[in-house]
Structure 1
Amino acid sequence: MARTPRRILIVAPAFHGYGDSIAGALRRAGHDVVVHPYDANATLGAKLRTKLVHELPGRLGSRSGAIAQRRALTTRAVEAVTATRPDVVVTVKGDALGTDYWDAVDASGARQLLWLYDELARMDFADAVLTSRPSIVSYSPHDVAALRERGLRVGHVLCAFDHTVPFTPAPSDEVVFIGARYPDRIQLLVGLHERGVPVRAYGRDWSGHPYDRARTWQMSRPDVPSAREVDRATAYGLTAGAVAALNSHTDQDGFTVRTFELPGTGSLQLIDRPDVDALYEPWREVLVYSGLDELAVLCDRARSDRGWARAIAERGRARTLAEHTFDHRVPLLEDAWA
């Protein structure tokens, strides 16, 4: 059934441009879309101000910086709602925004959708805001079930791959990881490195660059080959050209965006979730590991048997393009705000 084209405002974190990916898919479906990246720091001066005015007070035990930041982000988001006059407002995460924003969205008369692009345990929502939303979607089955038990209208929408991002594969003999640094990920990467597996971790939490140490407020780094944070197109090229790419979920119950991006780029995905079989066929489209020893064995085979690794990666890419792009998620979003 044909959908009515809507004027849509997406209010989303600036993080790696995922708001633009969602917008692109909606535009291809015929909608008119405006994106407001609510926490964007477009200039070096803005980044320094965020560190000194908003983050530093928190490091010193004061909440003044966080309060001021929430107020500033909220004001800009309210202005975006007023200026856009949308038919639909899609808020991605949004826990950094104050009640004035949600009041403005309610007052606009627009249809609404809150997309929890993370798990509630990692966000800071006022309960009154959460329970007053007319429609919510989440990638977390646990959160979907919990919110439904509370009588809220909630749908399950998976993350996705943006097949329109251009990238150039960067061939390497390494197993790569791109993402945040958590204790279990440190253990895996240090363990692989100690076993002689060529690995490299990318991101501000791993990089030894002085600027990255300063902006993460952390001086120490694990003993793992590392590199600085990269943009999404570069990340796609790195994973596409690597021997394999690691996807570690820590304690998440939803599947991260990497679950779809890695095979989407043509990378051989090494994932720690056997329940990925609901999305990809293990051992045919992705490789599932349990623990460091098994992961090391898989890395060694991928390095020694490139034909085997490439065949799995190509089948994973085909599945992604057939079922797991942002375009495939659009009908679910349209149903959710209807």
Structure 2
Amino acid sequence: MQKTGHRSKAGVRGSKEGYRKGWDDGYHLGMCEAIVRRTPGYASPPKNLRVLYIPQGFESVDRGVIEGLSQTVSALIVGNAETMADQAREHAPDLVLVMNGLHVFPADHLEQVARIRAMGCRTAIWFADDPYFTVETAEIAPHYDWVFTHELSCADWYRSLGCANVHYLPLAASIACYRPAHIEPQYRSDVCFIGTAFPNRALFFDRMAEFLAGLRTVIIGGLWETRLANYSLLQDRIRPGFTSPDECAKYYAGAKIVLNLHRQTEEEKNTANLPGKSINPRTYEIAASGALQLTDIREDLPLYYAPGREIAVYSSPEEAQHKIRYYLNRESERRSMAWNALVRTRKEHTYAHRLDRLLRVVFGEA
């Protein structure tokens, strides 16, 4: 009979395992914190400019742009689409920057842009939803002085529509929101994916369902219950509905591996049938969170991250499954890649870096 006060062998093993896990987590976060301190982000003095920014309603992107403009210009006014012409008249900005111009914008959006231009204000739009709504952006783009698109395939197309000043400008990460952090147990996972169940994603996860059911998997987003044939296998791992950027950041920081899978571009409103060549904002946000990212490949990915050194890539569900197994069993290699991506993101891929480039283009310094 075991004596009172003596710990069981299972208890000793549990204590050792808990100590090792705590030490490993502390080491990872300590390295991340050292990286954050060494890479504070954009450090140039702000330009003597007044900018009126009109948000789209993509919270993580809008927060990032506001964060970036706050660092790059001397005066920032955050307006709204319904009254942007009146706001331009009131504040006399050097630039009115509109994010995307879709979905939530009023019917008189383009009339307001014409009024703003008639005041002598520069106008620029940054499309962040290309190429999925080309039927609408074809109408919008020619009304602006400068057109910026995050999608490589769209730049020449906008020029073909008669837009004189078109520039490819990738998205980025808000490093105030997306950053490594100590995360509560409910946000921890082996594999995490956040996104809507577009048809290509549903097919991908159907082929991965049995494998992912054997891991601590978290899938967050809408339409999974109706589009995933193997929903029953993953039902207890799926959290439906919208998740705020702050919650997303916690799930990313708490995951060993974050999957990224771009949506298909064969969409009803992509009437120009343009391909998707550019990475989504999640690519930067995951990297900024200190987690290993496993992503499908788009053409411009190597311009921003080095596959195999800063980010892991796959081209099929089978390859993704193999790499998940591989990296879950190689903690040192997994974390080293995550740290490399974190450094790259904070040095090069913040919204302040992007807005600095945009302003240089508009005001003739590029």
TM-score (norm 2): 0.72
Take 2:281 and 2:80, find their aligned partners in 1: how far apart are those partners?
Answer: 18
Deviations 1:166-223 (A, max 9, x none): 66443623311112221111122232221234422112344x6xxxxxxxxxxx3531
> Cα gap change, 1:125/1:82 in structure 2, threshold over 3 Å: closer, same or farther?
farther
Deviations 1:257-297 (A, max 9, x none): 01111111111111111642221111111001010000011
| CA positional deviation for 1:331 | 2.1
Partner of 1:278: 303
- 1:239 aligned partner, one-letter code: Y
Partner of 1:246: 259
Task: Specify which of 135, 155, 158 is matched with residue 147 of structure 1.
Answer: 158
Partner of 2:200: 184
> Cα gap change, 1:243/1:180 in structure 2, threshold over 3 Å: closer, same or farther?
same
Deviations 1:14-72 (A, max 9, x none): 2224223212212212331122354xxxxxxxxxxxxxxxxxxxxxxxxxxxxxxxxxx
Partner of 1:119: 130
CA contact (8 A) 1:267 1:313 kept: yes
TM-score (norm 1): 0.78
Alignment of 1:1-338 (within 5 A): 4-38=47-81, 75-95=82-102, 96-97=105-106, 98-125=109-136, 127=138, 129-151=140-162, 152-165=164-177, 168-170=181-183, 172-195=188-211, 196-206=214-224, 220=226, 222=228, 223=231, 224=234, 225-227=237-239, 228-250=241-263, 251=265, 252-273=276-297, 275=299, 276-338=301-363
| CA positional deviation for 1:159 | 0.5
CA contact (8 A) 1:144 1:155 kept: yes
Partner of 1:217: none
Q: Secondary structure at the match of 2:189?
A: coil
Take 1:126 and 1:105, find their aligned partners in 2: how far apart are those partners?
Answer: 19
Moved more, 163-172 or 281-290: 163-172
Take 2:298 and 2:64, find their aligned partners in 1: how far apart are those partners?
Answer: 28
CA contact (8 A) 1:20 1:35 kept: no
Moved more, 280-289 or 170-179: 170-179
> Cα gap change, 1:267/1:202 in structure 2, threshold over 3 Å: closer, same or farther?
same
Take 1:274 and 1:128, find their aligned partners in 2: how far apart are those partners?
Answer: 27
Take 1:4 and 1:229, find their aligned partners in 2: how far apart are those partners?
Answer: 36
Relative contact order (C-alpha < 8 Å, sep 6+): which is higher? 2
| CA positional deviation for 1:127 | 4.4
Take 2:139 and 2:200, find their aligned partners in 1: how far apart are those partners?
Answer: 34
| CA positional deviation for 1:147 | 2.0
Deviations 1:47-101 (A, max 9, x none): xxxxxxxxxxxxxxxxxxxxxxxxxxxx444444344432210011113343322
- 2:288 aligned partner, one-letter code: G
- 2:76 aligned partner, one-letter code: V
- 1:241 aligned partner, one-letter code: G
> Cα gap change, 1:144/1:274 in structure 2, threshold over 3 Å: closer, same or farther?
closer
CA contact (8 A) 2:46 2:71 kept: no
| Structure 1 segments of 4+ aligned residues over 6 angstroms from their partners | none
> Cα gap change, 1:299/1:113 in structure 2, threshold over 3 Å: closer, same or farther?
same
Moved more, 234-243 or 285-294: 234-243
* RMSD (CA atoms): 2.4
Structure 1 residues without counterparts, runs of 5 or longer: 39-74, 209-219
Take 1:126 and 1:259, find their aligned partners in 2: how far apart are those partners?
Answer: 24
Moved more, 104-113 or 280-289: 104-113
> How many pairs does the alignment contain?
290
Partner of 2:268: none
| CA positional deviation for 1:104 | 2.6
- 2:297 aligned partner, one-letter code: R
| CA positional deviation for 1:3 | 7.0
